[in-house]
Amino acid sequence: MLYFEDLKPGDTFATPTHTVTAEEIIAFARQYDPQPFHTDAVAAQASLFGQLVASGWHTAAVSMGLMVRGDMKLDGGVLGRGVDQLRWPRPTLPGDTLRVEMTVLEIDPVPSRTDRGRVKLSCRTLNQAGEPVQEMTARLLVQRGPSFAKAVESRRT
């Protein structure tokens, strides 16, 4: 498991991949974003996209799942504090195989919180051609390590 002290700006992390199916796109959209270009392949042909495409929120949900399963195994989980930027530069299509590249941009030890630190993270979701389908700048709250907690406790006593 990784702790706040294990991270530094420039660190990069990868994820496994996930291939998005038409059935998955339609099922997600029917429940959360029921627009014809997400729910009906025939109707989608007459849309701006000209074909069935995943909802951006579906891409975001897949990306989150990949991030949690990826190399950046944070003790205590991936605790989001917010998103500074979220873009979908191109649609996710049926058959796209997605992966996420994560890069630590900033770390902030937060002196007032001895148990956690703040991390700013660039997350790029790429398709099989290496083209970005989502770009996000996220802010996380990351658990401090046991050695840090012991050092803080010894200073108190």
Q: What are the residue ranges spanned by the domains of the chain?
A: 4-156
Question: What average pLDDT does the structure give for the chain?
Answer: 93
- The Cα 58–Cα 56 span in angstroms is 5
Is residue 18 within 8 Å of 66, Cβ to Cβ?
yes
Over residues 84-140, the pLDDT tens digits come to 999 999 999 999 999 999 999 999 998 887 899 999 999 999 999 999 999 999 999
pTM exceeds 0.85: yes
Dihedral sign from CA coordinates of 77, 82, 84, 90 = positive
- What's the start-to-end Cα distance of the chain, in Å? 28
Q: For residues 9 and 121, is the Cβ–Cβ distance under 8 A?
A: no
The superfamily (CATH) of domain 4-156 is Hotdog Thioesterase (3.10.129.10)
Q: Mean pLDDT lowest for which of 51-60, 62-71, 107-116?
A: 107-116
What is the model's pLDDT at position 156? 53
CB 115 within 8 A of CB 143: yes
